Amino acid sequence: MSWSVWFALVGAAVLISLTPGAGAINTMTNSIGVGWTRSIWGILGQQLALLVHIAVVAAGVGVLVAESHVLFEVIRYAGAAYLVYLGVRQLLARPEAVDAEAPVVRMTAWQMFRQGVLVNLTNPKAVVFFLAFTPQFIRPSRPVLPQYGVLAATVVVVDVLVMWFVFAVAARGLRRMTRTPSGQRRLNRIFGGLFVGVGVLLASVH
């Protein structure tokens, strides 16, 4: 992959990562709940799902998902249902008594990692997106595997940086609201509503 192509890839990856979606909402929710540092676990889970999507496309299975209407719809509705479930769970969460200085620890590292994987993995539109995205940066005349390796590493590194240093940092300003029951209820309604909204959008937009 030439430097000019790589720089174009970096620019595209930054724009994609900055686009608000389920991953960004998940990252902000984790940052508020457990603090900026520990929110990295959810972000890493999301990256594993991205790698799976890229591997699926590289293996050619992505074409099957894109062309099989039934398979695509099943995965799409499953992903939408999971996001709605997360939103409803957030909306129904009860305020917790917290220490004046400590963040609210609601999930373990493994729970955040697993949720991050599921949030991104159950979005079949990501497979279709990578089907359209990757050919712009892969040259069939050159060894394909190293090119996919560079693409995957670039997309993952950029997404980690954007999620952790943009969305997770932005959420830190809201964390003070978790110090009171009313603030927790307000944030639960905001992020619960966002999860439900994204889930409904995923289910309704074709």
Query: Per the domain annotation, does 186 fall within a domain?
Result: yes
Going by C-alpha positions, the residue among 106, 84, 96 that lies closest to residue 183 is 96
Query: Per the domain annotation, does 5 fall within a domain?
Result: no
The per-residue pLDDT for range 113-159, each reduced to its tens digit, is: 999 999 888 776 677 677 767 777 777 778 878 888 999 999 999 99
CA distance 200 to 149: 34
Residue whose entry in the numeric block shows the structure tokens 């999620």: 163
Here the tokens at position 60 are: 């050619």
Query: Per the domain annotation, does 96 fall within a domain?
Result: yes
Query: Per the domain annotation, does 12 fall within a domain?
Result: no
pTM, two decimal places: 0.70
Query: Per the domain annotation, does 10 fall within a domain?
Result: no
**Confidence (pLDDT) at 201:** 73
Given a contact cutoff of 8 angstroms between Cβ atoms, the answer to whether 10 and 154 are in contact is yes
CA distance 31 to 26: 9
**Which of 190 and 62 is assigned the larger pLDDT?**
190
Going by C-alpha positions, the residue among 108, 113, 105, 98 that lies closest to residue 46 is 113
**If you average pLDDT over every residue of the chain, what do you get?**
79
**Confidence (pLDDT) at 103:** 47
Given a contact cutoff of 8 angstroms between Cβ atoms, the answer to whether 18 and 166 are in contact is yes
Average pLDDT over residues 177-193: 72
**Confidence (pLDDT) at 132:** 67
**Confidence (pLDDT) at 40:** 95
> Would you mind telling me the total number of residues written for the chain in this entry?
206
The per-residue pLDDT for range 159-171, each reduced to its tens digit, is: 999 999 988 988 8
Q: What domain range is 104 assigned to?
A: 22-204
CA distance 153 to 200: 31
> How many domains is the chain partitioned into structurally?
1
